[in-house]
Structure formats: C-alpha cells, structure tokens
Chain A
C-alpha cells in the first residue's frame, strides 16, 4: 500500500513561449521563495521555487521561455533534459504546467503539442484571457480541455485571477498518469521513430526516451546525435539517412514534416472552438504599433526613449549614488574618530566599509535601468526596440536585441551585462557581454575630467561651439566604440564563429505594464547582483586594501622624517607655555597643525610607496615606462582594479595630498602638472602621457564588479579572465601607440 504522500506530485516544471507571462506566473505561484542558480556548463539560469498548496508543498522549476522543444545547442537542451529527468542535479518533474497566450493560441499550441508527447501529466493554463477578449477572441475552454485531454485553466497572471483554480488543479494531478499516447505525426513517421528506438536500444544497450528518438530523426543540425547518444557509429548515420529518405519518398520530408503535422493537429483541435469578432477598424494596439514602427515617428520615439533611459541611468542615479557614498563615508568617519589607530581600524575604515560601498554604489544604476527594462518588456516595446535597431546591429554580426544592453553600458557595464538576458542566442549574448565593458562608463569620467582639465588646453573653435577639451572627451568615447566594433567582428570570426542567428520572433501586442511586476523585477535584479557579485567585489576591495596597508612600517619613524617629527615635538612643548587664546598662540597653533598635516600626508605617501602595492608599482615600472608612466601611475592603475575611479584618490595619496582628492580638486591638478620623475626635474606628465592614461582607462578592464558580473552571467571563470586579458592587452597597446606617436609632436 502506498501512503497518501506518495500519490502526490512533488516537482512541477513550468514552460511556455516567450511573452506569455511565464515569469509573472512563476512569481505569483512561488512568491519570493525562489532559488536562483545555473545549470552546469551552460549560461542558462536555473530558477526553482516552492509552491504551497493546502496540504502539500511542490517544487516549481521555471524553464527558459521557448517557442519549440527542438534543441540545437546545449542551452536549448536544458529544458528537454530537465523534462526527461536527464539533468543530474535537478529533480525529474512529476508534471508539466504549460502556459499559453490565449490571444495567440494557434502558435502557442505548437509547444504544447511537443510537451504532450513527453507522457507526463500536464496542466494547461490560458493566460492573458483579458487581452484575448479585448481583441474579440472567444475560446470554448471546456471543449478545448476535452479535446486536449488535459485540464485547461483560464488565468490573468498579472492580476492574480485564476490562481486559486490553478492551485486546485495542481493538487489534483495524479502521480501515475493514465494518458493516451499523443502523436500528431502521420502513421509512417511514427513507425520510423519506433524503428529508430529499437535500433538505438540495441546500439546503446539501454532505451532512449521516445521523444528523443523522434527529435533525433528530425534534427538535421547534427547536435542531438552528440548530445543524446554515447556513441555515433557509421551504422547510426546510415540508419538515420535511410529512414529520412524513406519518409521523404512517403511524402513526409524531414524536417518540414514536424511543423506541417503539428499545425494540422492544431487546426483540428481549434476547429470551431475559437470565434473572432470581425473587426472593421484596427484596435488600439495595432494603431499604436503603426505609429511606433513608423519610419519617422517610430524612430523619433525610439531615440527619445533611449535618451530618457540613458539620461536616467547616467544622471538620475548620481544623487542616489552620492547618498550611498555619503552614508558609507559618514560611517567610515564615525569609526575613524572612535577607534584606536590599528590595522583593525584601517581594515574597517578603508577595507570593509570601502568594500560594502563598492558593492552598494552600483544599486541605483541597476535599479533604474531595470525599472525601464521591466516597463519596456512588460508593455511589449522591448521587441519593437530590437526590431528598429536590428539592421544597424546586424552589420556587427549581432541582432537588435544587443542594442539596449550596449547603450546602458555607457552608463555602467554591470546593468548592461545583466540586461543581455534578453538575447536567447548564446553566441550573440557572449559577444555582447564581452564588448559591453568597452563602452565608456560613468566611472571613467573622473579620470577623463581630471586629466583633460589638467593637460588639454582649452582652445575653442567655431566661435566657442567646439572645444579641444570636449573633442578629447568625445574621442575617448569613440575609441571604446571603435575597438568594440573590431572586437565583435574578430570574435565572430575566431572563437565564437557561426551563422548569424535568425531574427524570427514574435512582436507581442502592447499592454499596460503592471507596477507590481515591474518593481518585482527591479528588486530581483538588484538582489541577484548583491548575492552573486557582491562577495567577489568585496573580496577584491579588501585584497587591494591589504596590498596598500602591508607591510606596515613599524614603530620607528623613517630617518628622513625624523627631524620634522622632532620639530613638531619641540613646537608642542613650546606651545604648552603660550596662551592659546592670544594672537601669537593661535598663529603658532595653526602652524603646528599645518606641520602635522603635511607630515601625515608625506607619511601616508611613504607608507604606500613601501607597501606591497608600491613595491609592485616599482617592479612593473619597466613595463609602464613605454607608455610614458612612472611607477606612481602604474601603482595607481593597479590600485584602481576594484573600480576605475579609485585611481583619482590613489594619485592623491601618492602625490602627498591625501585620499580626499577628487577630479575637480585644483591642488591635485597642479600637483600632477608639477610632478617630476624621481631624482630628476623632468616632468612626468605632458599631453601624450595624459592621453596615454586616458586611452588606457578607456579600454582597460579595471573594474572588479564588471568581471564579477561576467562570471555570474556566463557561469564560468574563463570569460571574465578572457575579458580582462584582452581588454588590458588592447589598452596597453593603444596607450603605447598613443604615447609614442604623441611624443613625435611634442
């Protein structure tokens, strides 16, 4: 006798076409109780949630949105493997929940017809019944359910309507299905699949699921042979070729037979079930679409939307980031004032608090970008944006879907890389991820601003409309874009080769975005960033702090500073006998404070110089000299590995000004202008050196956060490593030529 618990389902897979509201349904069913991870070896995200029913709890696996279960790549294979229980670290689902778009039932049933062949208990849920109604589409749900042989539940996932009925249906699923075998294929094809199944069982020594045998027969790309079989012999090839030839002779050519059979089946299922009201005029979604994809107005609207997004991520995030910086800085100052000087204090103030700040500071940009992306996705404009931009991106061997991730990378590559999720094609997505960090992000601005203000003369042309400083800034943005285009082309020709993927995709109908979903997605992305990239960014910041802090000079003041230290002590003694309220006392007090301060700054610079970081800086000097840099610049560049903008503060410390310097500080500007090579009076900085540093920063991968997020999105250490190596290499070469060529004109 089996206990009650055994007869209930434990795991359910959720699957559906893109744009059917699948993620919304997933969140509505599992709430915030979800685990996000990756499937091994692929870039597909694994989302698992818990669904609580009256007397049981069910594991819900969210499978990637797809139009068809016909895998041609490892990423597409995941859904099939999970559904057939071939994915080792994922529980085999006891049932499938398939979400269909009621307003586009015909095409959505294609995926369902494949799922019904898996011989798993299935529940169909018809989402967006409101949109369908609005468009005059009436569906007889009971008859549909009878014809399909599975429960069909109408739903409006964004409003939470129909959820109770759906949960009830899930709790009713029997664990042992008694469903007739479904196949939309003609008799001859089914026989061929049976023949292949027997053949493979003999070859492999164990049976292959019928669904995979069918796919094997249909798959002309050759991928499935490698993925599903342990060995592919000449006999296998002959068998497949013979079966296909025979089918072709019988009038069922592979691969065309699949779509023809399934759509014929769909027409039988839907026959007389769906009524459409004849419409004389276009509905609002169609009218909106003819405006939004219009040659002139559509383009104008697109440019406006993109400017708004860019402006928002670029400038609106600024005040929020300052707020986070200020809060973190305040905490640091509080600790600095209330702790004894020690390694622990420095660890807290400069390491830990800096590290936390380094993670949190990205949140405003991530939130704002994903607020917009969620709105665009939910209202249906995202697909149109890709449609409008496809021709342009196609020239780079990419598709229109890469446009928004790349555009947002001009503000910050982190949300940009995270936004590549919309690109289903793995190769396109990887190329976009790899070139996104080349877009000049807002963290490069302080570097550009500082060096341009200090070294580029403020000549203007055309009556003040065009300035040399502005042109230099623009050139830096251009350098990034040009290199990105080159890299995209090279990547497509070398390590990521292949045909440009098809742009055959649905343009969903417009709808009003749901606030709940928009905010949910926004926070989900922010949380994913903290969870998956936060620790790494934090660790790198601590590492760089340690490199600059250790080895700490112990006890004795270095001999060269001793006279000044003694002078200060003498002054203190002297001051003890003077009335501090008198004019003379105040002046002496002030001069003592100044002496103390300069000594502190000099000691900080000395500490950095003899720290591991300083040692490394000196050690790599021969490498950076061809770029026109001295060891101090090299050292500042290394210190800026966690984040580019840190270079400004580090230059401040190295040049004895303290770490409070920012790109607007006149003293830092003047100090850089006056800096000389150690032991000589030759100036370190001139225009070629400044340009060489700027070009280096335009192209380098000095951003631990970006590398961390690339690791998270690609699910491998190889790609962030590759990004770092190629960007640093390109940055070095470009800086080298900038300096060497620049010096010819000086």
Chain B
C-alpha cells in the first residue's frame, strides 16, 4: 500500500484510509484527511522531516512517521 511518506515532493494523491485508531490517527482525520480527500505534497523541511501538504485548501505539516498512516489510492 502506498502511503504519503513514500511520495516525492509535488505528488498529488487521494486518501484511501488512515490506519490505526490512536490519538495521531484521530488528529489526522480531524484535520480533514478523510477517505477520498485530495492532497498534494508541497515540500519537506530541510532535514527531510516533517512534510508540508496541501489539503482542503490549507497547508498542513506532519511528521514522516505520521504520514505513513495516510494510505493513498493507487
């Protein structure tokens, strides 16, 4: 399964689901990363982590470890 963490900068994708049900997964859902949502990977911080994405018309940062929970429609 392809996740957001595997993507290159500039990739656009659609969320298929968020894995897990702990605090981090809930937070990702609350921030709008629900299934069928479009997103775009805008960039990475200078040390390669965290990532910056565009989702629902705003910019969101999340760590790589958190991005592995964001599964994308292949």
A259 x B34 contact (CB < 8 A): yes
Q: Mark B2-38, 1 if CB is under 8 A from A, else 0.
A: 0000000000000000100111111111111011010
Closest to A501 in B: B23
A107 x B56 contact (CB < 8 A): yes
Which residues of the other chain, B, contact A507 by a CB distance below 8 angstroms?
Answer: 52, 59-61
Q: How far is the CB of A279 from chain B (nearest CB, A)?
A: 12
Instruction: Report the bound CA distance from A744 to B37 in whole Å.
Output: 68
A106 x B29 contact (CB < 8 A): no
Q: Mark B39-72, 1 if CB is under 8 A from A, else 0.
A: 0000101111110100011111111001000000
A220-B21, A293-B43, A503-B61 as given contacts; A107 in contact with B66, CB under 8 Å: no
Among candidates B21, B22, B30, B66, residue contacting A67 with C-beta atoms closer than 8 Å: B30
**For residues 392 through 430 of chain A, which have their beta carbon under 8 Å from a beta carbon of chain B?**
392, 394, 400
Among candidates A72, A256, A296, A390, residue contacting B45 with C-beta atoms closer than 8 Å: A390
A259 x B45 contact (CB < 8 A): no
Q: How far is the CB of A574 from chain B (nearest CB, A)?
A: 79
Closest to A108 in B: B58
Which residues of the other chain, B, contact A296 by a CB distance below 8 angstroms?
Answer: 46
Closest to B31 in A: A504
Which residues of the other chain, B, contact A295 by a CB distance below 8 angstroms?
Answer: 46
A504 x B27 contact (CB < 8 A): yes
A255-B21, A295-B46, A387-B50 as given contacts; A504 in contact with B60, CB under 8 Å: yes
Among candidates A221, A383, A504, A506, residue contacting B66 with C-beta atoms closer than 8 Å: A504
Q: How far is the CB of A402 from chain B (nearest CB, A)?
A: 15
Q: How far is the CB of B23 from chain A (nearest CB, A)?
A: 6
A263 an interface residue at 8 Å Cβ cutoff? Answer: yes
Closest to A498 in B: B23
Which residues of the other chain, B, contact A70 by a CB distance below 8 angstroms?
Answer: 26, 30
A106 x B56 contact (CB < 8 A): yes
Instruction: Report the bound CA distance from A299 to B43 in whole Å.
Output: 14
Which residues of the other chain, B, contact A107 by a CB distance below 8 angstroms?
Answer: 31-32, 56, 58
A263 x B34 contact (CB < 8 A): yes
A260-B34, A390-B49, A502-B23 as given contacts; A106 in contact with B57, CB under 8 Å: yes
Q: How far is the CB of B39 from chain A (nearest CB, A)?
A: 13
Q: How far is the CB of B24 from chain A (nearest CB, A)?
A: 4
Among candidates A68, A137, A392, A505, residue contacting B47 with C-beta atoms closer than 8 Å: A392
Instruction: Report the bound CA distance from A375 to B43 in whole Å.
Output: 25
A499 x B23 contact (CB < 8 A): yes
A258 an interface residue at 8 Å Cβ cutoff? Answer: yes
A467 an interface residue at 8 Å Cβ cutoff? Answer: no
Instruction: Report the bound CA distance from A509 to B62 in whole Å.
Output: 16
Which residues of the other chain, B, contact A387 by a CB distance below 8 angstroms?
Answer: 45, 50, 52, 61
B32 x A110 contact (CB < 8 A): yes
Which residues of the other chain, A, contact B30 by a CB distance below 8 angstroms?
Answer: 67-68, 70, 110, 258-259
Among candidates B24, B47, B48, B58, residue contacting A104 with C-beta atoms closer than 8 Å: B58
A383 x B61 contact (CB < 8 A): yes
Which residues of the other chain, B, contact A276 by a CB distance below 8 angstroms?
Answer: 57
Which residues of the other chain, B, contact A627 by a CB distance below 8 angstroms?
Answer: none
Instruction: Report the bound CA distance from A137 to B23 in whole Å.
Output: 32
Which residues of the other chain, A, contact B63 by a CB distance below 8 angstroms?
Answer: 390, 394, 502-503
Instruction: Report the bound CA distance from A119 to B26 in whole Å.
Output: 24
A505 x B60 contact (CB < 8 A): yes
Which residues of the other chain, B, contact A293 by a CB distance below 8 angstroms?
Answer: 43, 45-46, 52
A659 an interface residue at 8 Å Cβ cutoff? Answer: no
Which residues of the other chain, B, contact A499 by a CB distance below 8 angstroms?
Answer: 22-24
B47 x A391 contact (CB < 8 A): yes
A503 x B62 contact (CB < 8 A): yes
A289 an interface residue at 8 Å Cβ cutoff? Answer: yes
Which residues of the other chain, B, contact A110 by a CB distance below 8 angstroms?
Answer: 30, 32
B32 x A106 contact (CB < 8 A): yes
A67-B30, A256-B29, A258-B29 as given contacts; A502 in contact with B66, CB under 8 Å: yes
Q: Mark A458-474, 1 if CB is under 8 A from B, else 0.
A: 00000000000000000
**For residues 646 through 676 of chain A, which have their beta carbon under 8 Å from a beta carbon of chain B?**
none
Which residues of the other chain, A, contact B66 by a CB distance below 8 angstroms?
Answer: 502-504
Instruction: Report the bound CA distance from A298 to B57 in whole Å.
Output: 23
**For residues 284 through 301 of chain A, which have their beta carbon under 8 Å from a beta carbon of chain B?**
289-290, 293-296, 298-299
Which residues of the other chain, A, contact B23 by a CB distance below 8 angstroms?
Answer: 72, 221, 499, 501-502
Instruction: Report the bound CA distance from A293 to B48 in whole Å.
Output: 11
Q: How far is the CB of B58 from chain A (nearest CB, A)?
A: 4
A388 an interface residue at 8 Å Cβ cutoff? Answer: yes
Which residues of the other chain, A, contact B35 by a CB distance below 8 angstroms?
Answer: 260
Instruction: Report the bound CA distance from A216 to B47 in whole Å.
Output: 40
Which residues of the other chain, B, contact A67 by a CB distance below 8 angstroms?
Answer: 27, 30-31
Instruction: Report the bound CA distance from A70 to B21 in whole Å.
Output: 14
Which residues of the other chain, B, contact A390 by a CB distance below 8 angstroms?
Answer: 45, 49-50, 61, 63
Given A104-B58, A504-B24: 10 more A-B contacts, CB < 8 Å = A104-B56, A106-B32, A255-B25, A289-B59, A298-B46, A299-B46, A390-B45, A502-B66, A504-B28, A504-B66
Q: Can you show 21 pairs from A to B with CB atoms below 8 A apart?
A: A70-B26, A104-B56, A110-B32, A220-B26, A221-B23, A256-B21, A260-B34, A260-B35, A263-B37, A290-B43, A294-B46, A295-B46, A296-B46, A391-B50, A394-B49, A499-B24, A502-B63, A503-B62, A504-B31, A505-B60, A508-B59
Q: Which 9 residue pairs spanning A and B have beta carbons closest together?
A: A259-B29, A391-B47, A507-B59, A104-B58, A502-B24, A106-B56, A68-B30, A299-B46, A504-B62
